[in-house]
Homo-oligomer: A and B are copies of this chain.
Amino acid sequence: MEIWRIDVEKQTLSRELVPDSWMRLGGRALLAQIMVDEVPPTCLPLGPDNKLIFAPGLLVGHMLSSCDRISIGGKSPLTGGIKESNAGGRTGFQLTNLGIKALIIEGKPQGDGSWLIHLSSAGVRFEKAGDLSGLGVYETASRLLNLFGKQVAISLIGPGGEMELRSAGIQNIDKDGVPSRIAARGGLGAVLHSKGAKAIIIDASGGSKPPLVDEKAFRAAQKVYNKALLGHPQTHTYADYGTAAMASMCNAYGGLPTRNFSTGQFEKVDQLSGEHMRQLLLERGGESETTHACMNGCVIRCSNVFGGKDGKAIVSPLEYETIGLMGSNLGIGNLDDIAKLNWEANDLGLDTIELGAALGVAAEAGLMEFGDGKRALELVDEIRAGTLLGNILGNGAEATGRELGIERVPTVKGQAMSAYDPRAIKGTGVTYATSPQGADHTAGLTIRADVDHTDPKGQAELSRDAQIKMAGYDTLGACLFSGFGYAVSTSSISDLLNARYGWDVDEEILRELGRVALKLEREFNRGAGFTAADDRIPKWMTEESLSPSNAIFDVPEEDLDSLFNW
């Protein structure tokens, strides 16, 4: 494996040996190590000193179920701290099949041109993006697949990234050629644009899977893991209902963000539930299937293709987070409206969580009535039109609150919360508060723990454990849901790593990798100026109680401050 380093100013590629200290890292932890080693933490996120890094996880490249994810990151223009955002799709797999352990994009182009960066076994090639500039993600991806072949992987941005909006993500092609797997959070789409690129095309056709030191042992471990994963009941829930299954559960806990995080239950939740979605999908038939896989080899198939009344796909996938932030959080109880908003956000290349939260704040400021899906779409149109209001919404919930004078803004470190109100699901609130990534459920979700989620006691321990494990999974390139399998078959991870790399690690390796990642991320953020004061849930959520549980966020600050003392 090699490090590929692209200088976008000189348009050159340097292929380098992997330094010893990077050798045993991958994905999120490798990304953090590169950031600490090479990027000044006080640099401008959109300036020449920031780097955009693509690092496949340690297990990526072998179609191991839900373990081919790509970590993308750099310094976030949204949070001002380190950012790792990971996604499924083809990108991670194809990078490893070109022998790339990490792709580092650095420098700043001289002019304003927009480029396509093409990677293959022949090296790098820069082509002018030409009339692809300004096009939406769906049309761009379709044209790129026609230009470069249906089999390539693509990471690309939409108009939101081209406008360098702080909620712009980087879309990745899924196994079916749809650009739906977004490294959504933290404004990395703006960073890719600051490097002068509209898209990165990865053609691994001349490459091969990364070597396995002990193929037989790897296949054996894979079998055990697959069996554990398939045997877990949750896998089947997701296969049937997708992540939307979470809506009813979160509502029952009183933690479903509703009308800009004003209440924790939504009277129309039944219209948003996974059960209702499945029923709609089955009724509508056509192109729709109830759920599908985002990566080859995945047995969970949590994703879905949401079809309209005519059976034609509106958007794929419609995820729980989007339903929460663009549905209940906006008072919208209609999956068709949400799917349209989702399509627009995807096509613009924006994070639906951040945008949904921003629209919630805008609604509180009077720019729309809660529940008015048509008006919400008009507001999203402002983003596409590049109006000032559009810029602000596209810059996220905090910018929207600041410029419209709203203090009830659901963010930590400048990043919007996901669809779990931290007052009702306090462990996840601890994660929001303390994660170096800013508010983000994927940094350590606690909702499945069998505890009283409104009791402040013990939540820090729960979050710590979840954050360490998730940072570990993100380092492996493993999806959150792969944990269902790994939790049952506890030796699978070390067995797979030992077979892949010839290592001799034990079951503790997941946590070891997670701790390394978190420690490095904290180090970067300290250099960028973050302190304990940034590890806080917004003050208003510590004072305003959430109906119906009447909970406030009351995990003691000492618990937050000692989270990383392990």
A231 within 8 A of B: no
Instruction: Identify which of A244-252, A385-393, A449-457 touches chain B.
Output: A385-393
Instruction: Identify which of A58-66, A263-271, A489-497, A525-533 touches chain B.
Output: A525-533
Q: Which of B47, B399, B403, B533 is in CB contact (< 8 Å) with A539?
A: B47
Interface residues of A in 365-419 (CB under 8 A from B): 388-389, 391-392, 395, 399, 402-405, 407
| Closest chain B residue, CB of each to CB of A557 | B42
Are A44 and B539 closer than 8 Å at their CB atoms?
Answer: yes
A395 to B399, CA, bound (A): 11
Q: Which of B391, B405, B533 is in CB contact (< 8 Å) with A41?
A: B533
| Closest chain B residue, CB of each to CB of A164 | B405
A163 within 8 A of B: yes
A407 to B227, CA, bound (A): 52
| Closest chain B residue, CB of each to CB of A527 | B533
A431 to B398, CA, bound (A): 29
Q: Known contacts A388-B389, A389-B388, A402-B395; is A407 also within 8 Å of B529 by CB?
A: no
Are A529 and B539 closer than 8 Å at their CB atoms?
Answer: no
A403 to B165, CA, bound (A): 9
Please indicate the chain B residues that have their CB under 8 angstroms from the CB of A403 in the complex.
388, 391-392, 395, 399, 403
This chain: how many copies in the complex? 2
Q: Which of B392, B395, B407 is in CB contact (< 8 Å) with A44?
A: B407
A230 within 8 A of B: no
| Closest chain B residue, CB of each to CB of A525 | B533
Q: Known contacts A44-B539, A527-B533, A528-B533; is A391 also within 8 Å of B407 by CB?
A: no
A561 within 8 A of B: no
Please indicate the chain B residues that have their CB under 8 angstroms from the CB of A529 in the complex.
529-534
Interface residues of A in 512-561 (CB under 8 A from B): 526-534, 536, 539-540
A8 within 8 A of B: no
- Would you give the shortest CB distance from A129 to chain B, in whole angstroms? 19
Are B46 and A407 closer than 8 Å at their CB atoms?
Answer: yes
Q: Which of B44, B391, B533, B534 is in CB contact (< 8 Å) with A404?
A: B391
- Would you give the shortest CB distance from A417 to chain B, in whole angstroms? 17
Please indicate the chain B residues that have their CB under 8 angstroms from the CB of A388 in the complex.
388-389, 392, 403-404
| Closest chain B residue, CB of each to CB of A389 | B388
A43 within 8 A of B: yes
A23 to B531, CA, bound (A): 33
Please indicate the chain B residues that have their CB under 8 angstroms from the CB of A534 in the complex.
529
- Would you give the shortest CB distance from A432 to chain B, in whole angstroms? 16
Count chain B CB atoms within 10 A of each CB in A391, A402, A526, A530 and give the residue with the most. Answer: A402
Q: Known contacts A42-B533, A399-B402, A528-B533; is A47 also within 8 Å of B407 by CB?
A: yes
A250 to B288, CA, bound (A): 69
A43 to B542, CA, bound (A): 11
A402 to B44, CA, bound (A): 12
Please indicate the chain B residues that have their CB under 8 angstroms from the CB of A540 in the complex.
44, 47
- Would you give the shortest CB distance from A409 to chain B, in whole angstroms? 10
Are B539 and A42 closer than 8 Å at their CB atoms?
Answer: yes
Task: Spell out A's residues near B (CB within 8 Å).
Answer: 41-44, 46-47, 49, 163-164, 388-389, 391-392, 395, 399, 402-405, 407, 526-534, 536, 539-540
22 contacts between A and B (CB under 8 A): A42-B539, A43-B539, A44-B407, A44-B539, A47-B407, A47-B539, A163-B405, A388-B388, A388-B392, A388-B404, A391-B403, A391-B405, A392-B392, A395-B403, A399-B402, A399-B403, A403-B403, A526-B531, A528-B533, A529-B529, A529-B532, A529-B534
Extra contacts besides A42-B533, A44-B539, A388-B403 (7): CB < 8 Å: A44-B540, A47-B539, A392-B392, A392-B403, A395-B402, A399-B402, A529-B531
Nearest first, the 6 A-B pairs at minimum CB distance are A529-B533, A529-B531, A42-B533, A391-B403, A529-B534, A388-B389
